[in-house]
A and B are shown apart, each in its own frame.
Chain A
Amino acid sequence: MVEITIRKRPRAEAVVTQRKFFKKTARGKVIKVLRERYLRNDVGCGIAGCRNCVHAGKITLPSGGSTKSKFFSDGHFVVPDTNVFLAQMDLMESNHFDPPLVLLQTVLEEVRHRSLPLYNRLRAMIKSEDKRIWVFYNEFHSETAVVRVQDETPNDRNDRGIRKAVAWYSSHISLINPTVRGQRPKPKPTVLLLTDDVQNRMKGEKEGIKCSSVVRKYVESLGDNSSQLFDLLSAEGDEIEPTNAQNTTRQALYPEHLPLSTVLAGVRGGHLHQGHFNASQFNYLEGSVSTAAFSRPVLLIGRENMNRAVQGDVVAIEVFDEKDWKAPVDQVIDQEAALKNDDAEDSEDEGEDEMLVQEKKVLQEERATAQTNAVKQPTGRVVGIVKRNWRAYVCHIDSTSLSSSHATSLSQQTVFATPVSRLLPRIRLRTRQAPALIGQKILVTIDRWDATSRYPEGHFVRALGKVESKEAEQESLLLEFDVPYRPFGKAILDCLPPEGDSWVVPPKIPNDPVWRDREDLRDFIICSIDPPGCQDIDDALHARRLPNGNIEAGVHIADVSHFVHPENPMDTEAAARGTTVYLVDKRIDMLPSLLGTNLCSLRPFVERLAFSAIWELTPDAEIVNVRFTKSVIASKCAFTYEEAQVRKDDKKLNDELTEGVRLLNSLAQKLKARRMAAGALNLASPEVKIHLESAESSDPIDVEQKKLLETNSLVEEFMLLANISVAQKIQETFPQTAVLRRHLPPPPTNFEKLQDILLKRKGLTLDVSSSGALAASLDKCEDPELPTFNTLVRILATRCMLSAEYFCSGSVSRDTFGHYGLASPIYTHFTSPIRRYADVMVHRQLAASIGYTSLHATLHSKQHVERSLDVINRRHRMAQMTGRASVEFYVGLALKGKGEKSVVKEEAFVIRTFRNGLGVFVSKLGIEGLVMFKGEPKYDAENYTLTLPSAEHGEVTIAVFDKVTVHIEVEKDRNTQRGKVTMTLVDPPVAHTL
């Protein structure tokens, strides 16, 4: 049993043992706080061989101190003050800095008070094995405790406490090594007060502390290691002011926003511009806004100019005069790294403090060295917010911002939540359950962002689950991209046919409503070709020779509009969802799965309703005529791409089905050739496929690039043909409200950078005057040594383009209908109504245009169509990003799995150079990454090269498009548990990789 005692506190010492202070609460009330303190004599000094102290635990300080410094040949102990830790933490953490340290409680608490992240680093340092640090609890030792006297600042009191402790140690050491009469006195180690504070040192000298030193001088005295340590010495350490007591006035950090009415008037008046705020992915101090008035996005540099705008907000900006325009910085600045020592609880008195000064320095440095001839962009600042687009963000709790991480702690804490998306700032939130939330994905919403607060303030919504658990990651993805994923409600399911999955096409009898105006195509040899494992088959094909020598080809699309009637709950829900979202291991359906994977899915051997487009084509694939009809089909086979390919190539088979596939293929090849000749682009995007171990565990085992077969192209060509024919038809019938899809030609400025890089690095030119010219010049971008170079250029070129969008034919002028990528004057989406809502709308319009039904009133209204298409466009974009993010997560998991077994090394191409790093693209895995370097590599912005000191000798120069080998690792951020892929350069070998 433990010994329980009563600590006696002598009455006479009440002044020393009681502390009274006044505290102002958040509401402005003043509260008197009385605390007591028990002074004791059993606080150990930590020096080996000391018989006067009682020591519990391991003694860390050697009895003779350290003799490394040339000033103190008799050995010494170092007692640093608070400023040393606040300013020179890197030095203190260094392995080369190893004198025995006495860390005073006063110092420890002051560090804790000033910056929790620094305190946590300090604590980790105390615990580490290779440091000799003894924490001396001077405030609890009866001989070293000090009391704040009248008119003394807390800081002066702490300094006095530190000096008193140093004095105590000095006298204590003489007790440890008493001079025995007749013997030569033993050398007495010195106790050195390490401080950069002039006043403190002077006072110390007055009080008889002879040995105090500036950090720089002390480091000099360390001799051999000092050069390495000098690098770590932070510049601000020289003779600084005493730690200023926290100034109490709350200072506005950001300019106030203009009121909304002023903003709107300004936008209308033309001197303000409105646009969506986009944060930079690489540099948290930079953002941009695309506006109609400027061809380039308007650049916003620095916190003040971004003025509390969050990714996605609609902001009003003021553009500076042209002489103040700047170019974006070529440097990667990570929020975490730059602000890791920032403190969550500083809200009370965030002034113009070190952090802000540092940020400014970073920005100015860049400006100073920034290339003068770089292309300048319009630059401006945010003056008002038109609309906040805040939502719930998926975050991780930053564990270093916690003041108490014990699982049992119930105290309310202010902590940082780091959003998963790098485009968002850290969010400050107050919670009582912080310790429980560490290592979890949580949902946080932003409540407000005051001008006086550096970070937005938010609150905790709910926990999603453990980091890296599949469920949490999946849900967080869906939330992050705003994908509606709730199960379908009863009202929606009630719209399904009451027969459920036993629904079948009714027998063909006259006057049956289902068979009205439907062609019976059940005898046609129709087949579908899809990726393996596809359940929602929405297209099927057939082809046959006609007696006149021409070919009849048909595309049959699931007749979703037969089941989904306009303006019922199911339709409304589908319109809101916009599209089906495909994750690696999950599909979030747009329509209930009864329709998607059963009734509408054109499965083989069952009768299904379809909407058919049937062409008569000449053997040269010229369209003779086209007709559209509702139909009933019975697919004869569901091929995968590979099966269809094998079937087609198998010369022994000559049945009707195979012949049909061959016929389709020959037509498709001609169609494609014609399309290419017209100037269609052959673009590339890094698509990879994830191999899952089994359906249940869904542990990824490998990643592979998607292979493209001839049959892929077959299906694609006929779908394009159908879409184009349908687009023409509905545009003719409904010139005002036809649902179409277009791809605007990219502005030539988008290509400037790529053109410049290609010219300078490879001597190649890119002609972007038209899609045909671009296609031709892309074909010429070859490097005989790098076979994948062409694909890489295509990927980069794709990124320069705009994304395709749905639009309402009556809302834009006729000459902007074109689809740039496909080089088609008109285009729409008709072929996947199960998974895209735009196709459902097109189906309804087509049905009306062939007189099958009348058009629902909503599709006559331009506003309604526009509004629906806005939603669909947004959902479509989000769905793409979700899918990509999901693949990325699985690539990460696969890498991690591989990384445990062996080192993952992959070939990568440099696609971007930064002042302090390289952007690389690993084509095999389809991922992009950053390789960062320490120090100051020589950066040539003009030639896109980075010159680094080599690990062996001399220097290496790396340029854009160079092939390098990188080592890929997936590691979790120690503090936030946010997983990230880190890459380091393996070949060419360089020194100082980060």
Chain B
Amino acid sequence: MASRVEILNDGGFRSDGRKQYELRDIIIDLSQQGSADGSVVLSHGLTQVSASVFGPREAKMRSQTLHDRANINVEVTIAPFSMGERRKRSRNDKRVLDFASTIKATFEPAIQTSLYPRSQVDIYINVLQQDGGVLQACINATTLALAAAGIPLLDFVCAVTGGVQSASPLLDLTTLEENDIPHLTVAMMPRTGNITLLTMETRLHVDRFEEIFQLATSAGHVLHREMKAAIKDRTRTLVAAMSVAPKAVGEKDPVYSERMDDS
């Protein structure tokens, strides 16, 4: 009797103990994975996604190369064990392909592709665990992986899901909530405030839209702080590790720290 769970109870608590505007715990692990140029395992609560970025490198297929900019290639795999019900999705599943192209479209305005003509950036995303907000997790993970790979971005892309229960907006929905209430996913670029993605698969009253949209956008800023801190942290450890061998311990790389601070 899954429907017996209240989405938002009279005490203002959601089914998992959060309040309306509280986002789930976010964990960012930027450690190296295999030969990827940048990789991350990101979890929003119980939704877990790993993303690996390769490139920019030469395209495998010549036909895909673009003469004036880099091609972005996004491939998404959804692990069969990621949901309660085991379900294998084939590589050519329409939903998954659609999902991948959504992500590609989201990052096209963010990545400075024109710097790398005739090359390709490969983004491989693995959905390991699903509990609502998969698209949001994929986008955030991609941003982090791209940053870790050193691919020049115009800005971070931060995505958040927002929904509305009756008249109360909720942020960062779980599966339970996504199944019950109308919701949308917003991907925004915190510095410029541009919106690179807005999707909605359920019907939402137009009067409620504005409010949720604003909320999701400001939640993007909160996520941005968290993501930036993680990247900085990672860089700091890398720099520290680099400085162990050739330089004396504790010496800072002046160029790096300066660049990181103003972004």
Contact = CB atoms under 8 A, between A and B. Distances in A.
B23 A7 contact: yes
Interface stretch (B30-38, B109-117, B179-187): B179-187
B181 A6 contact: no
Contact of B182 (A2, A5, A32, A408): A408
A9 B176 CA distance: 19
Contact of A37 (B11, B16, B129): B16
Interface in B1-28: 1-4, 6-7, 9-13, 15-18, 20-26
Nearest to A11: B27
Contact of B85 (A29, A135, A413): A29
A29 B131 CA distance: 19
B23 A34 contact: no
A123 B26 CA distance: 35
Contacts of B4: 112-113, 345, 403
A280 to B, nearest CB: 34
A137 B166 contact: no
B11 A8 contact: no
Interface in A55-109: 56, 105
Given A32-B84, A408-B165, A7 B22 contact: yes
Contacts of B202: 410
A410 B22 contact: no
B180 A410 contact: yes
Contacts of B223: 6
Contacts of A23: 2, 84
A36 B3 CA distance: 17
Interface in A6-48: 6-9, 18, 23, 25, 29, 31-40
Contact of B226 (A6, A35, A38): A6
Interface in A191-246: none
Contact of B13 (A126, A140, A404): A140
Interface residues on A, range: 35 or more
B157 interface: no
B17 A39 contact: yes
B25 A407 contact: no
Interface string B166-196: 1000010010100111100000000000000
Contacts of A407: 166
Contacts of B3: 345, 403-404, 411-413
Contacts of B85: 25, 29, 31
Contacts of B127: none
B contact patch SS: loop
A180 interface: no
A203 to B, nearest CB: 26
A214 B24 CA distance: 42
Interface residues on B, range: 35 or more
B74 interface: no
Most buried by B among A1, A35, A348, A407: A35
B215 interface: yes
Given A6-B222, A404-B180, A410-B180, A33 B84 contact: yes
Contacts of A139: 17
Interface string A405-432: 0111111110000000000000000000
B10 A36 contact: no
A365 interface: no
Interface in B244-260: none
A34 B25 CA distance: 15
Contacts of A137: 9, 11, 13, 17
A413 B7 CA distance: 14
A404 B25 contact: no
A404 B9 CA distance: 11
Contact of A404 (B7, B84, B219): B7
A786 interface: no
Contacts of A8: 25
Contact of B21 (A3, A38, A113, A409): A3
Contacts of A1: 218
A4 interface: yes
Contacts of B15: 35
A410 B7 CA distance: 12
A18 B45 CA distance: 10
Given A6-B24, A7-B23, A113 B1 contact: yes
Nearest to B14: A38
Nearest to A56: B12
B46 interface: yes
Contacts of B215: 2, 4
Nearest to A10: B25
Contacts of B21: 2-5
B57 to A, nearest CB: 35
Most buried by B among A126, A345, A406, A413: A406
A18 B180 CA distance: 21
Contacts of B11: 105, 135, 137
B10 A9 contact: no
A38 B18 contact: yes
B1 A345 contact: yes
Nearest to B205: A408
B23 A4 contact: yes
A137 B85 CA distance: 31
B99 to A, nearest CB: 21
B121 interface: no
Most buried by B among A37, A40, A123, A408: A408
A36 B45 contact: yes
Most buried by A among B11, B22, B226: B11
Most buried by A among B10, B20, B171: B10
Contact of A411 (B26, B46, B84, B180): B180
A869 B89 CA distance: 62
Interface in B197-218: 202, 205, 215, 218
Given A4-B222, A23-B84, 5 more contacts: A7-B18, A29-B85, A31-B84, A123-B10, A410-B182
12 contacts: A4-B22, A6-B226, A7-B25, A23-B84, A36-B131, A38-B25, A112-B4, A123-B10, A135-B10, A137-B13, A409-B181, A411-B180
Interface of A: 1-9, 18, 23, 25, 29, 31-40, 56, 105, 112-113, 123, 126, 135, 137, 139-140, 345, 348, 403-404, 406-413
Q: Which 4 A-B pairs have the closest CB atoms?
A: A38-B17, A140-B17, A9-B25, A31-B84
